Homo-oligomer: A and B are copies of this chain.
Amino acid sequence: MYLKVSTQNINPQYSTEREKMRKDSRLSRMLHILIHMAQMEQAATSEFIATMLNTNPVVVRRTMACLREKGYVTSVKGHGGGWRLNVALEDITLLDIHNALGESSVFTIGLTDEHTECIIEKAVNREIGDALAASEALLLRRFGEVTLAQLALI
């Protein structure tokens, strides 16, 4: 329960040039930090990672937990604890991390489902849906072809 007071609300609702929507930057952030972790001796604390990513430790734990579930990193509590890479960079692709983060869809474009009986709506949704599927397949295929080791070489 909170009170919102005095909003600016400069809303470009009628503008053709929309402002960019907020993006999910977890993939970019995690790839970045994983490569750095591969070059580190000690475990990286959430605090340390948070500083690197300009965020805070809880956000780091939340996101890294997704990677731990898949075995890409391990976490250790207490003194000298933190996060460690558990797999060689050669053995992780962008797709692996993308999948670990569990994003449901990569698109901002959605379909409608108001009239499941309308053949026009069906045709529209099938066409858009097929195009999105093909586009996503290409993206994921490419993600699957690149390992973190390749990125680390620059």
Contact = CB atoms under 8 A, between A and B. Distances in A.
A1 B7 CA distance: 7
A135 B139 contact: yes
User: Quick one: which of A36, A109, A125, A143 has the most chain B CB within 10 A?
Assistant: A109
Contacts of A32: 112, 118, 120-121, 124
A154 interface: yes
A73 interface: no
A146 B127 contact: yes
Contacts of A146: 127, 131
Query: In which size bucket is the chain A interface?
Result: 35 or more
Contact of A104 (B19, B62, B142): B19
Contact of A27 (B109, B138, B154): B109
A151 B120 contact: yes
B62 A13 contact: yes
Contact of A20 (B104, B114, B131): B104
Interface of A: 1-7, 13-25, 27-29, 31-32, 35-36, 52-54, 62, 65-66, 69, 94, 100, 102-112, 114-115, 118-125, 127-128, 131-132, 134-136, 138-139, 142-143, 146, 151-152, 154
